[in-house]
Amino acid sequence: ERTLRQLAADDRLRVGTAVDMSALADDTDYRRITGEQFSTVTPENVMKWEVIEPQRGVYDYAAADQLVAFAARHGQKVRGHTLVWHSQLPSWLTTGDFTAQELRQILHRHITDTVRHFKGRIWQWDVVNEAFNDDGTLRDSIWLRKLGPGYIADAFRWAHEADPHAKLFYNDYNIEWSGPKSDAVLDLAGRLKAEGVPIDGVGFQGHLGIQYGLPGGLPENFARFEKLGLDTAVTEADVRMVLPADDEKLATQAEGYRLLLDACLRTRHCISFTVWGFTDRYSWVPGVFEGEGAANLLDEDYGVKPAFRAVQKALSGH
């Protein structure tokens, strides 16, 4: 049977997964499948600020470096995740009493140091992650509050200076749907492009839940971004459900994955389709949404679910 990465290669697209570094270290099946099935990887947590600079000026890239080395050994490209976010910030940063000018320097330094550290080894960077609310307004965060909306353009400029060859992405969830949030991201991307800010793409996370229905019109939505001259990518696909799973829910889940992948396949410059983990054995979902889960392509014992078959089939069909 051909692997997902072999099938995707025919579609000028990379297929990826987020990687949980403790699973990669401890679980041989997990490690084997990660290497065999995927042609790009994203660190689920280990490139986030709280991990790489736990104390001010004390850097720890060890786990992230391990993933980058794993990727190189397996012919995989790396999505860097993520430089500017409101979450998983180190406590020295969130509790420190910094002036706007100090904070701007801190952010500049974080972006510069991190991007330089991995220079030449990151394919796509999620430069700014989740900056919008669902109603299309900018999310209240330490960055917006202290630096104003200009922090977004600055982040892209600084990242580009540090590694001119990395593809720079804005990444968000709930923008698969048409509505105020995807309109706001489109508007931002258009303005950044018009101002010559070095943005290369927009990432659609793709965290779906079958109880909310599935987004229609995805290919048309992707096309709006492509018209701006941007790459697109599905960056964090998973499709959760209220437990217990049953055949009908699993079939709807498969349809959710198919929709996300199909939109990517129909979009000329959609360059990668990444799932946020590939097995129900390790998933962020049950810890955050009580009573929900079973969101991934393989079950807890690495058994193949209908969603995996749907992804295989969609990749074979093009």
Binding region for ligand G3I (CB under 6 A): 44-45, 87-88, 129, 205, 236, 284
The residue ranges of DSSP E strands in the chain, in sequence order, are 14-19, 40-43, 77-84, 124-129, 167-172, 201-204, 207-209, 231-242, 270-275, 292-293
Query: How many C-beta neighbours within 10 Å does residue 89 have?
Result: 19
**Active-site entry in 236, 248, 292, 300:** 236
Which residue, 49 or 308, is less far from ligand G3I as judged by CB? 49
Q: Which of 157, 205, 153 is nearest to 181 (CA)?
A: 205
Which residue, 87 or 94, is less far from ligand G3I as judged by CB? 87
**Active-site entry in 44, 53, 130, 176:** 130
Which residue, 11 or 236, is less far from ligand G3I as judged by CB? 236
Shortest separation between residue 12's beta carbon and ligand G3I, angstroms: 26
Shortest separation between residue 85's beta carbon and ligand G3I, angstroms: 7
- Cα separation, 198 vs 192, whole angstroms: 8
DSSP assignment of 76-143 equals -EEEEEEEE-SSS--HHHHHS---HHHHHHHHHHHHHHHHHHTTTS-SEEEEEE--B-TTSSBPP-HH
Q: Would you call 130 a catalytic residue per the annotation?
A: yes
Q: Are the C-beta atoms of residues 58 and 91 closer than 8 Å to each other? A: no
Shortest separation between residue 1's beta carbon and ligand G3I, angstroms: 28
Q: Would you call 236 a catalytic residue per the annotation?
A: yes
Which residue, 88 or 137, is less far from ligand G3I as judged by CB? 88
Shortest separation between residue 284's beta carbon and ligand G3I, angstroms: 3
Q: Which residues are catalytic?
A: 130, 236
